[in-house]
Structure 1
């Protein structure tokens, strides 16, 4: 008999978040930790992400924000960290993606700690990061309809 996948938990317990931080070797920014604790990656209704790329305004559509222990691997933070983590580690964590497979990343360490970036997957990391918001709260608040 084939077992069914477990549904994605709608919230996370503190011990699960503590484990995530231990695995990452970094503290999650408080607003992002709260988001996972209460929403576990649920994608917001507004999904238009705006940022500046090469001095010009640009935008993309958020496909999803990753959750922990998701039913579908493509929406799972653990899975995506394993896929993109080597390139991003230890400074950034991929927390979501747009409709084209580009990543939304959160700075976990260094001078950009807590900032959210758009990562263009078609160029090297140092040229592909574009600031979206100074914090996770500002990121979610800045999402627009479109």
Structure 2
């Protein structure tokens, strides 16, 4: 495993941009995600694969296709994803989409509660449960998540 390097990112957000984002969300961002957004805005990780605990077995793997960006006319716009998934109640209201895989699944960041800062995998194929049983824990925070990436061995 290796810490992911983010490629093809846009310029990071300044403090005013971060404050505007938090105001629009109505929630404070964890320090590690604020730092991430201040250094890069969107982008793709290398290596790109990660593992997570899965209900169907000990672990499953996926990959991050792209980290969501803020304030850029981009199909991977964080606020568009927030509107589409959180405001439409497809994911819990305290979760923030921060990335997606190429299969329509999301990487979510918990913004409040006992698990504030934790990272989850959201499986779109099991969407629709009122208890959000399609959420799978990845790691305790963004830094922990980024340190656990590995290359696909196909």
- TM-score, normalised on structure 2? 0.84
Deviations 1:61-87 (A, max 9, x none): 211110102232x21111111111222
Contact persistence 2:22–2:29 (CA under 8 A): yes
Please give the secondary structure, in 2, of the residue aligned with 1:127.
coil
Deviations 1:1-22 (A, max 9, x none): xxxxxxx841111111001111
Residue 33 (str. 1) matches residue 34 (str. 2): yes
Residue 111 (str. 1) matches residue 107 (str. 2): no
Please give the secondary structure, in 1, of the residue aligned with 2:151.
coil
- TM-score, normalised on structure 1? 0.88
Contact persistence 1:105–1:116 (CA under 8 A): yes
Structure 1 residue ranges, 4+ long, deviating more than 4 angstroms after superposition: none
Structure with the larger helix share: 1
Structure 1 unmatched runs, 5+: 1-7
CA RMSD of aligned residues (A): 1.5
The match for 2:105 is 102
> Partners of 1:27 and 1:18 in 2: how far apart?
9
Higher relative contact order, structure no. (Cα contacts within 8 Å, ≥ 6 residues apart): 2
Aligned pairs, number:
138
